[in-house]
Amino acid sequence: MTPAPFPAARMRRLRRTNALREMVQENGLSTRDLIWPVFIRDGEGIEEPISSLPGVNRLSLDRLMPAAEKAHRLGIPAICLFPYTDASLRTETCEEAWNPENLTNRAIRALKAEFPELMVMTDIALDPYNANGHDGFVVNGEIVNDETVNALVKMGLAQAEAGADILGPSDMMDGRIGALRLALEEVGHRDVAILSYAAKFASAFYGPFRDAVGASGRLVGDKATYQINPANASEALACVARDLSEGADMVMVKPGMPYLDICRAVKDRFARPTFAYQVSGEYAMLMAAAQNGWLDGDKVMLESMMAFKRAGCDGVLTYFAPRIAAALHGQG
Ligand SMILES: NCc1[nH]cc(CCC(=O)O)c1CC(=O)O
């Protein structure tokens, strides 16, 4: 549909007042769109800043609880846990990943006991527990697929057992969604949802996250043999199709802002719940510019969220979640 020629059509007529602009606004933003990723660590009374993620702290479990309560009260429906693991718990065999008493599993239980309505999401990958920082086992320099999938299933089952509502496999091994779904059915966890990191690219935007979980400097090589080449869109769509066919309930595109074309394509093609992860490097980029006075932090934060909505996303994992929720409640 082409608009009438000028002056019959004047696009500015509907931009004249705020009320008119709101009447014709195509997309909206709500706290319901947010998933808050949180870094947790052992100890007590700890809120440890992460220098490459200004405003984000690693929280001990006693500090996680009030933070989660506040997020919940602001209307954020879900929180996603990422553990910072001490060097002593990182091994080549990664047993800590499926220890029922590991930090993540203790956090899940504590959160579900206090705030049953707050959805708890987890990350499934071996990198927080791996001595070499990879998401899978490394054997003779190779990241081995099938052995890793077996370990990831154990890890996911332990999280489901602890009460996780949503499992988030972020490892990009082949066959992990099907294996996890089957195992969950077998043990009776029929209603645990899987939000697959389906279109996850081998991105340099994950840098600050690796600082946050203590993986920087540890990673030998890169993740290019399992994460998607940033040049490829068709391959990302094939990964999404595959994960949905194996039993993923929701899918994610990651990173977010540089990959909005993928978000749109995924939503159009599959019409399933589609999430984007505005990753650590995206957050760091906006925060750094805002701290320098080069950008208006609140405005670019909200504009970036609207861009995700416009691209078809049903929700966004973002470190800005509590700040966005506060802004939407007029407390920004
Ligand atoms: N499997 C680990 C994982 N889960 C989420 C992120 C990145 C999140 C971010 O950068 O905010 C990563 C890092 C990676 O793949 O190296």
Q: What is the pLDDT of residue 331?
A: 77
Q: Which residues line ligand 1 (CB under 6 A)?
A: 123, 125, 127, 135, 170-171, 206, 209-210, 223, 279-280
Q: What are the sequence ranges of the domains in the chain?
A: 30-328
Of these residues, 223, 254, 267, 309, which one is catalytic? 254
- Residue 109 CA, distance from chain mean position: 20
Cα–ligand 1 centroid distance for 111 (angstroms): 22
Q: What is the ipTM of this complex?
A: 0.97
Which atom, in ligand 1's list, is nearest to the CA of 205? 10
User: Is 267 among the residues known to form the active site?
Assistant: no
The alpha carbon dihedral of 129, 131, 136, 137 has a sign of negative
Q: What is the pLDDT of residue 332?
A: 61
Of these residues, 70, 112, 154, 200, which one is catalytic? 200
CATH of 30-328, one of 1.10.260.40, 3.90.1820.10, 3.20.20.70, 3.40.1190.20: 3.20.20.70
User: Is 200 among the residues known to form the active site?
Assistant: yes
- pLDDT tens string, the chain, 332 residues long: the values are 778 999 999 999 999 999 999 999 999 999 999 999 999 999 999 999 999 999 999 999 999 999 999 999 999 999 999 999 989 999 999 999 999 999 999 999 999 999 999 999 999 999 999 999 999 999 999 999 999 999 999 999 999 999 999 999 999 999 999 999 999 999 999 999 999 999 999 999 999 999 888 887 888 899 999 999 999 999 999 999 999 999 999 999 999 999 999 999 999 999 999 999 999 999 999 999 999 999 999 999 999 999 999 999 999 999 999 999 999 999 76
Cα–ligand 1 centroid distance for 8 (angstroms): 51
182: number of Cβ within 10 Å: 12
